[in-house]
Amino acid sequence: MQQRQLGRVGPEVSAIGLGCMPMSGSYGDASDEDGIAAIHRALDLGITLLDTADVYGDGHNEELVGRAIRDRRDEVVLATKFGHVVGGGGTIDGRPEYVREAVEASLRR
């Protein structure tokens, strides 16, 4: 798998990343077992960049990814997004106090 450096001094990641949103039912039914198997297969193939967000499955996706990488954390660069307010009509919240709250919640998951 080809690698890319993030920024000038950032970590190296696989040129292809895995978007994990569909693993929490965004496009239909999804089982946790299938999602974890897909993440493990991606890691086995050399994919090291996983993308998630706190809004995917209302936190479920971050929990799923956390379970999948529990024993393989050193193989992964994890990207998670926050700020989209569910039920807020497209509202984005970037207030410093919300940023701290969102980061802490993501780390717990």
Q: Which active-site residues does the annotation give?
A: 56
Phi and psi at residue 41, to the nearest 5° = -65, -40
86-93 long-range CB contacts below 8 Å, 24 or more apart?
Answer: 86/55, 86/58
